[in-house]
Amino acid sequence: MTGVADPANPDITATGLRRWTALVVLSVCVLVPFMDVTMISIDLPEITRALALTWVDAQWAIGGYLLVCGVGMLVVPAIGGRWGYRRTLVAGMALFGVGAVVAAWAPGAGVFIAARVAMGLGAATVLPAWVSITAAMFPAEERKRAYAVSAAFVSAATPFGPVAGGALLDNAWYGSLFLLDAVVAVLVVPLIGWLTPETRPGAGRRPDLIGIGLAACAAVVLFCAFTAAQGAQVAVCLVAAAILLAGFLLRQRMAADPLIDPAVLRRPRFVWSQLTISMVNFAWTGLLFLLPTYFLVIRGASALGVALLLVPLAAMASVASVITERVTRRLGVRGTVITGLLLFAAGLAALSLLTQESGYGLYVLALALAGLGAGLPQAPALATAMGELPERSAANGPGVINALRHLGGALGVAIGGLAVATAYAGGLPGTAGVAARSSVVHVGDDTGGFRASAYAAFTEGVSMSLRGGAVLLAALAVLAMILRERTRHRDGTTGE
């Protein structure tokens, strides 16, 4: 992707220090929304108590953010191409900051979820703008290094975010994390305008709004099927999602400029790679949604304690992103992906053995294993998926891949939460009140004599969800083992 520098700043790329400083600012823009799910998951029990959220509300607070972020990435390239990526990023970070302020002082569940949706829409601008602006600032020979440095910065900083957030939560009210997001947004918005050039790759064709609308509706209805819907409503939502998805695929066959060529779905390597990307995020986000609540509510850990416990997960995922290229050269793309999936599955299987009396050493080792496994497959699977895109999908394909990745994360929250909610509801006695039935966070003191059974049921639900994730990842690894590659590259890489 190429960009056009702002005529008002003709020397914006002339100073090396200035453009590398700008890259740090862009990296911060990527980092903050990237860490959002982890930090908010640690904050969620306190938010649930303060705003009387139900378990479904909690799912929408995280899943809704991911859904909107994913769908927004389908639209942002068209907006950035016409309006300019710098303006788009400024608007997105401003919206993210405003949403964070509203979330901090939200009076109830509805306003809080709406604020989270606004934050997700703002976060959707970050990755496309980062790619375009970085490409405009750096000459071709330095571009790959710039992307690598930025990605390394984000990976290295990621483990420290939850720790800072946990320390803050132990000494301040739940809204402080959102205000921290808002402060970062206030700081980076003027820096973006001062340090970065405007990039406008060209208007191109209009976005397929009908296709985007069908995809968005299918994603929301599918998410509803595993959260708010009950009984027969689940089947109705699933049928509606299938109809909307069929309509989306039909639209892609008819559209002059489709989001993605339906023919790519007949390419096993693309399907396998996209499943890998989506399922890894499915398991990752489900894990981050469930474990903090388990440790904070069931085990009585502090926010900082939970954040420190998650450091091995984030740190090993960062290490994996650094060594992936070297591992891929040795094992090949398929070998690297299979190894990562099996390691991630093993980590989840070990975590599923948790009990209310388990020592923390098990969690540290299992989370480190899961983090390593989650980090290894992402880059080679993404390269393979990108390499399989047809020519007519080259422009829109990356947005679709990212949208499906976020949908996988949202479904991890929905389906993992459904498993926990089912087990929890089955373990509660008939004497439990409405508040206690809505979320384990509201059980509180054992005044009704059922706290032990409620906690045991919730723990079993978390274990069941983790086992399900392990089985899915292991099944995907087996699929990769038996999948016959249509083409092979001597160096073990694809898409380059």
pLDDT in tens, 112-129: 999 999 999 999 999 888
Q: Give ∠ CA 189-88-214 in degrees, rounded to 5.
A: 135
Asked whether residue 14 carries a pLDDT value surpassing 70, the answer given is: no
Question: pLDDT for 133-149, tens place per residue?
Answer: 988 888 888 888 888 88
Asked whether residue 231 carries a pLDDT value surpassing 90, the answer given is: no
Burial class, 113, CB count within 10 angstroms (exposed 0-12 / middle 13-18 / buried 19+): buried
416 — pLDDT class (breaks 50, 70, 90): very high
Q: Give ∠ CA 276-278-281 in degrees, rounded to 5.
A: 105
Asked whether residue 338 carries a pLDDT value surpassing 90, the answer given is: yes
Query: How does 57-71 read in b/e, with b if 16+ C-beta sit within 10 Å?
Result: bbbbbbbbbbbbbbb
The whole-number pLDDT of residue 464 equals: 93
At position 134, the amino acid (one-letter code) is T
Q: Give the whole-angstrom CA distance, residue 496 versus residue 491.
A: 11
User: Residue 61 in contact with residue 177, Cβ under 8 Å?
Assistant: no
Q: 301 phi and psi, to 5 degrees? A: -75, 160
Asked whether residue 430 carries a pLDDT value surpassing 90, the answer given is: no
DSSP single-letter state for residue 259: S
DSSP single-letter state for residue 484: P
- Residue with the larger pLDDT of the pair 349 and 267: 349
Q: Which of 394, 97, 380, 459 is nearest to 258 (CA)?
A: 394
pTM higher than the cut 0.75: yes
The whole-number pLDDT of residue 467 equals: 95
The whole-number pLDDT of residue 203 equals: 55
Query: What is the average per-residue pLDDT within 370-374?
Result: 95
Question: pLDDT for 277-321, tens place per residue?
Answer: 999 999 999 999 999 999 999 988 899 999 999 999 988 998 998
The whole-number pLDDT of residue 8 equals: 39
User: Residue 215 in contact with residue 259, Cβ under 8 Å?
Assistant: yes
Burial class, 252, CB count within 10 angstroms (exposed 0-12 / middle 13-18 / buried 19+): buried
Question: pLDDT for 233-285, tens place per residue?
Answer: 888 888 999 999 999 989 888 877 788 888 888 888 888 889 999 999 999 99
Using CA of residue 297, residue 303, residue 308, residue 312, what is the dihedral sign? positive
The whole-number pLDDT of residue 494 equals: 41
User: Residue 387 in contact with residue 494, Cβ under 8 Å?
Assistant: yes
Residue entry with tokens 């050039």: 197
Asked whether residue 217 carries a pLDDT value surpassing 80, the answer given is: yes
Q: 78-92, 170-184, 200-214: which has the minimum mean pLDDT?
A: 200-214
229 — pLDDT class (breaks 50, 70, 90): low
393 — pLDDT class (breaks 50, 70, 90): low
**Percentage of the chain surpassing pLDDT 90?**
44
Asked whether residue 435 carries a pLDDT value surpassing 60, the answer given is: yes
Q: Which of 364, 30, 347, 395 is nearest to 206 (CA)?
A: 395
Half-sphere exposure of 263 (CA within 13 A, CB side): 9
Q: Which residues contact 445 (CB under 8 A, 6 or more apart)?
A: 451
The whole-number pLDDT of residue 11 equals: 43
- Residue with the larger pLDDT of the pair 205 and 45: 45
Q: Give the whole-angstrom CA distance, residue 59 versus residue 310.
A: 20
Q: Which residues contact 447 (CB under 8 A, 6 or more apart)?
A: none
DSSP 417-480: HHHHHHHHHHHS-TT--HHHHH-GGG--SSTTS-HHHHHHHHHHHHHHHHHHHHHHHHHHHHHH
2 — pLDDT class (breaks 50, 70, 90): very low
Asked whether residue 448 carries a pLDDT value surpassing 70, the answer given is: no
User: Residue 374 in contact with residue 381, Cβ under 8 Å?
Assistant: no
Q: Give ∠ CA 49-50-55 in degrees, rounded to 5.
A: 45
Half-sphere exposure of 386 (CA within 13 A, CB side): 14
Q: 47-61, 187-201, 442-456: which has the minimum mean pLDDT?
A: 442-456
Q: Give the whole-angstrom CA distance, residue 136 versus residue 147.
A: 12
The whole-number pLDDT of residue 465 equals: 95
Asked whether residue 490 carries a pLDDT value surpassing 80, the answer given is: no
User: Residue 161 in contact with residue 124, Cβ under 8 Å?
Assistant: no
The whole-number pLDDT of residue 484 equals: 55
**Percentage of the chain surpassing pLDDT 70?**
90
Asked whether residue 170 carries a pLDDT value surpassing 60, the answer given is: yes
Q: Give the whole-angstrom CA distance, residue 22 versus residue 18.
A: 6
